[in-house]
Amino acid sequence: MKTALTIAGSDPSGGAGIQADLRTFSAFHLKGLSVVTALTAQDQKCVREVLPIPAIFIRRQIEALMHTSEIHAVKVGMLAKKDTIIELISIFKELDLKNIVLDPILMSSSGFPLLEKGGIPKLKELFSQVLIVTPNIDEASALTGLKIVTEEDMEEAAIKIKDMGLEYVLIKGGHLKEKAVDILYNGKDIRRYVSERIAREFHGTGCVFSAALAACLAKGISVEKATGKAKDFVTKLIKENGDRS
């Protein structure tokens, strides 16, 4: 059985964060490991408070797991503090971790900040250590300074983010008005992944998408095919469970 690691915040409601990641890994028949970066007080509607875990203890969690486990993919989610990002940059340089998927979580859907002010420049420094970054439209806009409204805007943002030191960029277009289009860029080719837009709110879709992508990479699936499988997984989840939100 392959193993995937999530490095992310805890969501006591179970809809996002490490809880959703571990559930997703299980759905893909993987062994799931977790390193907690922050505790949150939240339900499925809003985040009320965040308690970051000290960066040195995040290191200790990862080092403990590396002693006994071979990790085939890593999903990185909420990091909360600049110190945590700095520590991860150092850890990823030291350890032989592959297939790292970074979901650059900046803010909750209810508007609560999930990365401290001034953290974006440090987050960009982490890009060179990961395989792929998966921002949604709002996150891509914050990373690039671009106003993103159309698919063409998404392509421009993907190119700009790719130049920050990444192998792959995936911009999620679930917030587009007419259809849900995701843009994958590898420096040469742009691929589009299109699905129907489902008029439902569903807590934690970004977490589930990046976890599903990491799960597929852990199983040896290419980034291009893994993206399609992750999108299909999330679409099916929204259709089946959207009424829970």
Give the integer Cα–Cα distance in Å for 219 and 153. Answer: 32
For residue 198, pLDDT beyond 80: no
- The predicted model scores a pTM of 0.94
- Which domain does 158 fall in, by range? 3-244
Kindly report, residue by residue over 81-123, the tens digit of the pLDDT: 999 999 999 999 999 899 999 999 999 888 899 999 999 999 9
Secondary element (H or E) of residue 52: strand 47-52
The residue type at 110: S
Kindly report, residue by residue over 134-191, the tens digit of the pLDDT: 999 999 999 999 999 999 999 999 999 999 999 999 999 866 666 789 999 999 999 9
> H-type helices in the chain, by residue range?
17-27, 55-68, 82-94, 120-126, 137-144, 151-162, 205-218, 223-241
Amino acid 244: pLDDT = 42
Query: How many domains does the chain divide into?
Result: 1
The residue type at 245: S
Kindly report, residue by residue over 20-40, the tens digit of the pLDDT: 999 999 999 999 999 999 999
Amino acid 245: pLDDT = 37
Beta bridge mates, 195: 180
Secondary element (H or E) of residue 194: strand 190-195
Q: What is the CATH number of the domain that holds 111?
A: 3.40.1190.20
In the sheet with 3-10, reading across from the earlier edge strand, the strands are 47-52, 31-42, 3-10, 73-76, 100-102, 132-133, 168-171, 180-185, 190-195
Kindly report, residue by residue over 62-85, the tens digit of the pLDDT: 999 999 999 999 999 999 999 999
Give the integer Cα–Cα distance in Å for 208 and 160. Answer: 25
